[in-house]
Amino acid sequence: MQFFERFKSGLKEVRSKWGSSLAKLITTADESPDFWEQIEETLIKGDVGVDLSEKLLSDFRAFRKTAGTNQSLPLLIFGKQLEAIFAGNPLNGAPLRQSGIPSVVLLSGVNGSGKTTTAGKLAAQYTRDGKRVVLAAADTYRAAAIEQLKTWGDRCGARTVSHGMGSDPAAVVFDAIRSAKADGSDLVIADTAGRLHTRHNLMEELKKVARVVDREVGAANAEFLLVIDAVMGQNAFQQAKVFGEALPLTGIVLTKYDNTAKGGVILSVVHELGLPVRYVGLGEKVEDLALFRPREFIEALLGLQEGDLSREGLRS
C-alpha cells in the first residue's frame, strides 16, 4: 500500500495531463481510424516514442479484435503491455548494490538534472537505515554544489569530502573512497559536475573518475547512475547514449517526474536504451525519491486499483 499510495500521489500531475486521457481512450468502444490515430498521437505526445507507440498500438489492436466491449478489461490488458516493457530487466527498481566496504555510487548527468539533490536524498535514506555514508563533492565547478552537498551531509550525519573549487574531481572521489575504507564506511555517494554531453573534454574527465572508482573498489561494488530530468523528454535519449559511452551505466534516476506532462518518457528510456529505472523522483521530500516499482507505477498512472495487474488470467 505504501508504494502504491506514494506513486498515486506523486503521479497526480502527470496523470491529469497525460495518463487519464490515455486511459479514457483505451476504454473507448471505437474502431474507427480516427480512434487509433488519437491513441497513437497521445502516446507520441507523451514522449513514448514512435517505434514503441507503434508496437503498443499494434499489440492492442490485435487484442481489441478478439475482445468484447468490457471497458475495464482493455485497460488492464494495456497495463500488462506496459508492464512487459519493464519485465525484461530485473534491475528496474532494484536498490543500490552494497556488496563492498565501501560500495560506491557515482551520479552523472547534465546541468540541472538534480544530481546534488539526488545524492543528498540517497545519503539521508541510507543513514536512516543505519549505514555510514561518505559524500564526495566532485562537482568542483560550482561552489554552490559543494555547499549544498555539505548541507545535506550535516543534516543526515554523512561526512562530506571536498577539495574546493577548481580541484580535480577524480582526486576528490579517490580521497572519499580511501577515507571510507579507513573508517569502515558502507557507502560513498559521488556528486559530479553537470557535463554537457556535447563537450568532449568534460566527458573525458568523467571517464577518469570512473577509472578511479573501478580501480579502488571494482565494478561489482560500484553503481554508475545517470540522473535525467523527466521534463527533458526525448532529449534524454541523446544524453544517455553519450554518457553510456563514457560510463558503464547501471541505471537511471528519473527526477522531477511529478512535474512532467510527458509521462511516456519513462517507457521510452527502458525500451530504447535498455537501461533500468532504479529510482524516480516524485516530490521534494527525502522519501519522494522512491525505488521504481513498475506494477504500482502503471496502476497509478492508468487509474487502476492496487493489485489489478496481479489478477490471474490476464495476458499481455
Q: Output the domain CATH number for residue 47.
A: 1.20.120
pLDDT level of residue 3 (50, 70, 90 thresholds): low
| Percentage of the chain modeled with pLDDT above 70 | 93
Q: Which of 276, 281, 283, 200 is nearest to 245 (CA)?
A: 200
Containing structural domain, residue 129: 103-255
Q: Is residue 269 part of a domain?
A: no
Q: Is residue 280 part of a domain?
A: no
Q: Is residue 135 packed enough to be buried (19+ CB in 10 Å), middle (13-18) or exposed (0-12)? A: buried
Q: Of 62-71, 136-145, 208-217, 278-287, which gets the smallest average pLDDT? A: 62-71
Q: Which of 295, 252, 261, 306 is nearest to 82 (CA)?
A: 295
pLDDT level of residue 239 (50, 70, 90 thresholds): confident
Q: Are residues 206 and 145 in the same domain?
A: yes
Q: Are residues 146 and 76 in the same domain?
A: no
User: What is the CATH number for 208?
Assistant: 3.40.50.300
The pTM for the full model equals 0.89
Q: Is residue 267 part of a domain?
A: no
Separation of alpha carbons 255 and 225, rounded Å: 12
Q: How many CB atoms lie within 10 A of CB 316?
A: 16
Q: Are residues 58 and 112 in the same domain?
A: no
pLDDT level of residue 106 (50, 70, 90 thresholds): very high
Q: Are residues 22 and 146 in the same domain?
A: no
Q: Is residue 110 part of a domain?
A: yes
Q: Are residues 211 and 115 in the same domain?
A: yes
Q: Is residue 246 part of a domain?
A: yes
Q: Are residues 81 and 210 in the same domain?
A: no
Mean pLDDT estimate for the chain? 87
Q: Are residues 85 and 10 in the same domain?
A: yes
Query: For the residues 207-212, what does the mean pLDDT come to?
Result: 96
- Given a contact cutoff of 8 angstroms between Cβ atoms, the answer to whether 7 and 297 are in contact is yes
Q: Is residue 237 part of a domain?
A: yes
Q: Are residues 136 and 199 in the same domain?
A: yes
Is pLDDT of 313 > 70? no
Q: Are residues 66 and 179 in the same domain?
A: no
Q: Are residues 116 and 214 in the same domain?
A: yes
Q: Are residues 115 and 170 in the same domain?
A: yes
Please state the separation of Cα 47 from the chain's center in Å. 15
pLDDT level of residue 261 (50, 70, 90 thresholds): low
Q: Report the number of distinct structural domains present in the chain.
A: 2
Q: Is residue 264 part of a domain?
A: no
pLDDT at 316: 46
